[in-house]
């Protein structure tokens, strides 16, 4: 079945149509400087073909998410782990859903890794799901750069490999690439060379004009016309378009980008004094943020105790005798008349007092147990609460900030499952489970190590690997190295951290440090 996609009109006023079935076999390359109308052209093509073929749009700026409401595209946020994106891509091919993969807000290097994982997932789908699919990639030079730049070699290789697979080997798998770029010189040649259809827009640099002219079979004098093209005008050539280069003008679209074209707006009509007040006056929101920051607890090291003179032998013997006498008097007390709830409350108070000391998290368990027994004697508490096994388990939970006392059947299942781990790891496991259930971020390596009683962050990574091998959790990472943990047998899953300017700055700083080391 031949489907003609109406792109607009030719310079003679005739309809400019694209053969969609031919496009699926021959692919399309769109080139034009910023502001030439490339994104408008892609939007027109996607709108007019939406009812005929499955579509996937790689959208680095979030411009095409507006297609979702009008044409039913599913918006996929790329802030996920590589395995998640690959599984989503496989289900997209299986269920033939049209999607927009939005990469907005991600660092450029992370965008490359996300696009690579998504495209590879589409490419590696089962043969039974190789249905025809249009893959539109805006700003394709970001994902298939002609040369190494500021990005890591790993990201460049992964992204370039995925784009090469799409353009070179995608046809047999039903994938038709439609790529748009600002400059042909910035796009990898082995990716651009696989396109048989071309739409060339306004171009100013000589090297890009010459490459565009070579692709269209135009002489050097004819290449000058690319400088004179207006916004939304392109020169079309290819088996799905026209057999000879023909100027066309792209028609209007039904949806629009969130940003749109920049337009001039009047400047504020305020005197300089008022503008200065607006710039330098602290707002209520900023005051509230400062107040919250000031209320955050800051660790203050405890004062160092004054050195005490060494006690003599007689004084030491007197102390030991006094302690022994006190112990004998405590053991001679009548049976404790407090209820189990009251005794449990006393134990909670003891643990709270012990762990209030920041160094308590890193003391050996036998030392803490002796300290615990001392507190119990002072509180006249004896019995099952002072058992070493009970103490170890309670300590691991307390270090992790967990209470196992709950009537929730799902949480009871987690508590029972923790019994498969060593006692000192059980509290760490439930700490992760609580974060996953609350959909909070996964605790850091330092937090996990501290809950285990160690100063070393590598201990936290060891704990995660150990629990993964035991099958009680599944740990994964996104492209920025942020950890995502899923509790096996449940739908509990920690969330990825929100993308903020500070996180992007940290990622850029890490990349700059890595580049400086390479130099």
Give domain status of residue 268, yes or no: no
- Is 325 contained in some domain? no
What strands, in cross-sheet order, belong to the sheet with 99-102? 15-19, 4-10, 246-250, 233-237, 197-200, 28-31, 175-181, 133-137, 54-59, 99-102, 74-77
Q: Which residues, in sequence order, are CB contacts of 158 under 8 Å at separation 6+?
A: 112, 113, 116, 117
pTM comes to 0.65
484 class by beta-carbon count within 10 Å (0-12 exposed, 13-18 middle, 19+ buried): buried
Instruction: Tell me which of 235, 250, 265 is where a domain ends.
Output: 250
CATH number of the domain to which 435 belongs: 1.10.10
Residue 430 zone, left/alpha/beta (φ > 0; ψ -120 to 50; rest) = alpha
The neighbour count for residue 309, using CB atoms within 10 Å, is 5
Q: Which residues, including other chains, have CB under 8 Å from residue 83's CB and lie 6 or more apart?
A: 476
Tell me whether residue 143 is in a domain.
yes
Question: Which of 250, 276, 299 marks a domain boundary?
Answer: 250
Closest CA to 106 of 95, 117, 98, 96: 117
Task: Indicate the number of domains in the chain.
Answer: 2
**293, part of any domain:** no
Cβ contacts of 258 within 8 Å, gap of 6 or more: 62, 63, 65, 66
Q: Is residue 446 part of a domain?
A: yes
Contacts of 50 (CB under 8 A, 6+ apart): 67, 71, 72, 73, 98
Structural contact between residues 466 and 436, judged by C-beta atoms closer than 8 angstroms: no
What is the secondary structure of 343-376 as a DSSP string?
A: HHHHHHHHHHHHHTSGGGGGS-HHHHHHHHHHHH
> Tokens standing for 234?
């392109």
What pLDDT does residue 328 have?
45
Whether 337 maps to a domain, the answer reads no
Buried b (16+ CB within 10 A) or exposed e, 418-430: beebeebbbbbbb
- How confident is the model at residue 149, as a pLDDT? 73
Give the CA distances from residue 431 to residues 51, 225, 232, 404, 450, in Å, rounded to whole numbers and listed in that order.
49, 66, 56, 11, 12
CATH of the domain at 107: 3.40.50.300
Burial environment of residue 168 by CB neighbours within 10 A (0 to 12, 13 to 18, 19 or more) = middle
> Looking at 182-328, which runs of residues are DSSP E strands?
197-200, 233-237, 246-250
**Nearest alpha carbon to residue 247 among 232, 262, 263:** 232
Range list of H helices, 56-134? 67-71, 82-95, 108-123
Name, in order, each residue with C-beta under 8 angstroms of 91's C-beta and a sequence gap of 6 or more: 97
| pLDDT, one tens digit for every residue, the chain (519 residues) | 578 999 999 988 899 999 999 999 899 999 998 888 899 999 999 999 998 999 999 999 888 999 998 999 999 999 888 889 999 999 999 999 999 999 988 888 889 999 999 999 999 999 999 999 999 999 999 999 988 777 788 888 999 999 999 999 999 999 999 999 988 888 898 898 889 999 999 988 878 888 888 888 887 777 778 888 888 999 999 999 999 989 999 999 999 887 666 677 788 888 888 888 888 888 888 887 777 766 655 545 545 555 555 555 555 555 554 555 455 444 534 456 677 777 777 877 777 777 777 666 566 667 777 777 777 777 777 655 556 667 766 766 666 566 555 556 777 788 778 778 887 787 788 888 888 888 888 888 888 887 777 778 888 888 888 888 888 888 888 777 788 999 888 888 898 877 655 555 665 665 555 555 554
Asked whether residue 299 is domain-assigned, the answer is no
Predicted confidence at residue 332, as pLDDT, reads 39
Cα(502)–Cα(508) distance, integer angstroms: 10
- What is the per-residue pLDDT for 386? 57
Does residue 342 lie within any of the structural domains? Answer: no
What pLDDT score was predicted for residue 130? 93
339-362 pLDDT per residue, tens: 777 777 787 777 777 777 766 656
Q: What domain range is 82 assigned to?
A: 4-250
Residue 56's nearest CA partner among 177, 198, 158 is 177
The residue out of 203, 228, 250 marking a domain boundary is: 250
Please name every residue paired with 249 in a beta bridge, in sequence order, or none if there are none: 9, 233
Half-sphere exposure of 147 toward its Cβ, with a 13 Å CA cutoff? 4
pLDDT at 517: 52
**CA gap 93, 496 in Å, rounded:** 26
What is the rounded radius of gyration, in angstroms, for the C-alpha atoms of the chain?
Answer: 33
Tokens representing 244?
A: 């000879």
């Amino acid at each position: 079945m031949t489907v003609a996609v109406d792109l607009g009109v030719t310079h003679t006023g005739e309809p400019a149509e694209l053969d969609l079935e031919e496009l699926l076999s021959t692919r399309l390359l769109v080139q034009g400087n910023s502001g030439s109308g490339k994104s408008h052209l892609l939007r027109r093509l996607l709108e007019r073909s939406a009812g005929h073929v499955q579509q996937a749009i790689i959208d680095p700026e979030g411009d095409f998410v507006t297609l979702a409401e009008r044409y039913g595209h599913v918006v996929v946020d790329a802030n996920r782990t590589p395995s998640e994106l690959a599984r989503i891509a496989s289900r997209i091919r299986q269920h033939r859903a049209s999607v927009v993969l939005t990469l907005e807000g991600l660092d450029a290097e992370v965008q490359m890794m996300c696009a690579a994982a998504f495209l590879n997932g589409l490419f590696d789908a089962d043969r039974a799901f190789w249905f025809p699919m249009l893959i539109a990639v805006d700003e394709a030079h970001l994902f298939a750069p002609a040369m190494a730049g500021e990005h890591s070699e790993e990201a460049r290789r992964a992204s370039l490999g995925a784009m090469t697979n799409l353009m070179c080997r995608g046809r047999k798998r039903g994938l038709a690439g439609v790529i748009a770029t600002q400059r042909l010189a910035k796009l990898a040649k082995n990716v651009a060379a696989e396109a048989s259809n071309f739409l060339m827009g306004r171009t100013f640099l000589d090297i890009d004009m010459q490459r565009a002219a070579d692709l269209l079979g135009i002489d050097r004098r004819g290449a000058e016309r690319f400088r004179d093209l207006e916004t939304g005008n392109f020169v079309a050539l290819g088996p799905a378009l026209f057999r000879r280069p023909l100027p066309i003008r792209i028609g209007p679209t039904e949806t629009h980008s969130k940003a749109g074209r920049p337009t001039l707006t009047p400047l504020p009509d305020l005197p300089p004094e008022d503008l200065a007040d607006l710039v330098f006056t602290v707002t209520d929101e900023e005051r509230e943020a400062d107040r919250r920051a000031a209320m955050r607890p800051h660790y203050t090291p405890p004062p160092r105790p004054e050195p005490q003179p060494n006690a003599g032998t007689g004084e030491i013997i007197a102390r030991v005798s006094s302690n022994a006498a006190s112990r004998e008097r405590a053991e001679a007390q009548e049976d404790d008349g407090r209820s189990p709830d009251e005794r449990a409350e006393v134990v909670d108070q003891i643990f709270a007092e012990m762990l209030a000391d920041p160094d308590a998290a890193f003391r050996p368990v036998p030392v803490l147990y002796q300290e615990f027994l001392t507190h119990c004697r002072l509180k006249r508490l004896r019995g099952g609460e002072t058992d070493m096994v009970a103490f170890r388990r309670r300590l691991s939970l307390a270090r992790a900030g967990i209470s196992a006392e709950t009537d929730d059947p799902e949480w009871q299942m987690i508590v029972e499952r923790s019994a498969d781990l060593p006692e000192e790891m059980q509290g760490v496991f439930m700490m992760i489970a609580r974060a996953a259930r609350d959909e909070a971020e996964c605790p850091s390596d330092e937090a996990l190590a501290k809950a285990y009683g160690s100063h070393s962050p590598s201990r936290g990574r060891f704990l995660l690997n150990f629990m993964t091998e035991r099958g009680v959790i599944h740990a994964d990472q996104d492209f920025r190295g942020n950890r995502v943990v899923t509790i096996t047998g449940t739908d509990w899953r920690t969330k990825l951290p929100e993308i903020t300017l500070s996180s992007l700055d940290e990622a850029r700083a890490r990349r700059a440090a890595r580049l400086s080391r390479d130099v």
